Amino acid sequence: MTDIISNAAMAAPIPDAIMGQAIDWHLRSNAMGEAEWVAFVDWLEADPANARAYDRVAADDRAMPAIAAPLAPPAARPLLPRRWAFGVGGTAIAASLVALLLPAMLPQAAMPYSVVTRPGEQRTIALADGTRIDLDGASRLDLDKTKPRSVSLASGEAVFHVRHDAADPFTVRSGALTLRDIGTVFDVTRAGKRLDVAVAEGSVMFQPGRDALTLVAGRRLSADEGLGSVTLAAVEPAAVGGWRDGRMTFAGEPLSSVFAAIGRRYGTDVRLAPGLSDRPFTGMVALSGGAGRDIPHLAALIGATWRRDGERWIITPGAAPTN
C-alpha cells in the first residue's frame, strides 16, 4: 500500500459500514492492548478504503474545536477523543507506532543461564541487585537475566547474602521446593532429593505458598522430597557456610551428605556401602586441605574402613586399617 493518497481518492465516497469501523477503532485506540493493535494494522491493510476512512476520522477529530462544556454528541458522528493525529499516510504511521509499542507490551523473553562449578572449584557470583552468592564445587545454579531476584539451585551448595527488598523478595528454588528471603544470610544444599537450609542471619520462609514455615538465624531445615519429610534442628549461626573456610558442621545428617560435601571440596568420588549412607552424623569436620588425609580420618571417626580404587574412595563398615 502506498503512503501517498491523491486528493481525489481521499474525497471518494466511503461506505457507511467502513466509516463506522474507523470511528470504532479511533474510539478504542486510547486503551488497546497488544492483540488489538495487531488486529488494527491488519484492518488498515486489508482495504485501501479502511485507511482512507481512518485518516478522515482522524482529520475530523483534529479539526474539531475545543468545547467549554460537555455536549451531547451528534447522532450521526460521535464525539471523538483526541488520541493520535493520523493524516494522509495514516497506515504507515499506525504501523510504525505498533512497531514501537509492541516490544513494551510484549512479555520480556526469558534469558536463562547457568553457573556450574567443577568439583574442587569455588566461585562467587555478584548479582546486579547487590546480592552475593558463594557457590561450592560440583554445584549448578540456574538464573534468568529477566528475573534477577529468582534463582534455582539444581545441585551442590551455595551461601546466599541477599540484599533484602520487601517489595520484591529474593526466591531460591530447588526441585519442587521454594525458599523466600526475609532479609538474611543462609546456606542451601541440594543432594538428590534432599534439601538442607541453614540460616546465619535474618530469616527465610520455606514453601511460602503452602507451609510458610519461617526459619530464623540458628535454625536449619532438612527436607526429603522423596519421603515428603521435613525436620528441624539447631545450628550455630557462625558455622553456617563454614565450608568456605574448610570447616563443615553437621547435625544428624546422613553420612552420604557428609562425604558428598567433602567430594565437592576436593573433587573426589566417595562411595559408601548401603549400610553407611543413611547413618546420621553430628559433628564438625575440619579439612586439612588434602583428601588423602581427611577421608581416612573421617572413616576412622565413624568406625569404618576405606580403600582406594583408582580415583574412587570406597567406605565400608568395619575397622579402619592400621597402616
Looking up residue 188, the CATH number of its domain turns out to be: 2.60.120.1440
Looking at the structure, do residues 174 and 92 belong to the same domain, yes or no?
A: no
Question: What are the strands, taking DSSP E only, across 164-265?
Answer: 171-174, 177-181, 185-191, 194-201, 203-206, 213-216, 219-224, 229-234, 247-254
What's the average model confidence in pLDDT over 142-160? Answer: 95
What's the average model confidence in pLDDT over 187-205? Answer: 95
Q: Which of 86, 84, 89, 106 is nearest to 38 (CA)?
A: 106
67 Cβ contact partners less than 8 Å away, ≥ 6 residues apart: none
Q: How far apart are CA 8 and CA 150, in angstroms?
A: 60
Q: Hey, what's the cell of 267? A: 573433587
**Alpha-helix runs per DSSP H in 237-307:** 255-266, 274-277, 291-301
Instruction: Please check whether residue 21 lies inside any domain of the structure.
Output: yes
Considering the chain, what is the average pLDDT of its residues? 82
Instruction: Please check whether residue 323 lies inside any domain of the structure.
Output: no
Identify the pLDDT of residue 53: 82
Looking at the structure, do residues 101 and 116 belong to the same domain, yes or no?
A: no
Looking at the structure, do residues 296 and 150 belong to the same domain, yes or no?
A: yes
Count the alpha carbons within 13 Å of 161 in the hemisphere toward its beta carbon.
12
More confident residue, 37 or 127: 127
Instruction: Please check whether residue 229 lies inside any domain of the structure.
Output: yes
Mean pLDDT is lowest, of 62-71, 135-144, 181-190, for: 62-71
Identify the pLDDT of residue 314: 93
Identify the band that residue 36 occupies on the pLDDT scale cut at 50, 70 and 90.
confident
Q: What is the pLDDT of residues 63-104, one digit of tens each?
A: 655 444 444 444 444 443 444 444 445 555 555 555 555 555
Identify the band that residue 154 occupies on the pLDDT scale cut at 50, 70 and 90.
very high
User: Please, what is the Cα angle at 55 between 53 and 59, to 5 degrees?
Assistant: 120
Coil, strand or helix: which one is 128?
coil
Q: Is the pLDDT of residue 6 over 80?
A: no
Write out the residue range of the structural domain in which residue 87 sits.
Answer: 7-68+83-105
What's the average model confidence in pLDDT over 264-293? Answer: 89
Looking at the structure, do residues 26 and 161 belong to the same domain, yes or no?
A: no
Compute CA 1 distance to the chain's CA centroid, rounded to the nearest angstrom. Answer: 44
Question: For residue 92, how many other CB atoms are within 10 A of its CB?
Answer: 16
- Are the beta carbons of 54 and 81 closer than 8 angstroms? no
Give the phi and the psi of residue 87 in degrees, each rounded to 5: -115, -140
Q: Is the pLDDT of residue 141 over 80?
A: yes
Looking at the structure, do residues 97 and 123 belong to the same domain, yes or no?
A: no
DSSP character at residue 218: T
Q: How far apart are CA 91 and CA 156, in angstroms?
A: 56
Among 23-37, 193-207, 308-322, which range has the highest average pLDDT?
193-207
Looking at the structure, do residues 52 and 118 belong to the same domain, yes or no?
A: no
Q: How many domains does the structure of the chain reveal? A: 2
- Are the beta carbons of 271 and 299 closer than 8 angstroms? no
Instruction: Please check whether residue 207 lies inside any domain of the structure.
Output: yes
More confident residue, 268 or 75: 268
Identify the band that residue 230 occupies on the pLDDT scale cut at 50, 70 and 90.
very high
Compute CA 240 distance to the chain's CA centroid, rounded to the nearest angstrom. Answer: 25
Looking at the structure, do residues 56 and 180 belong to the same domain, yes or no?
A: no
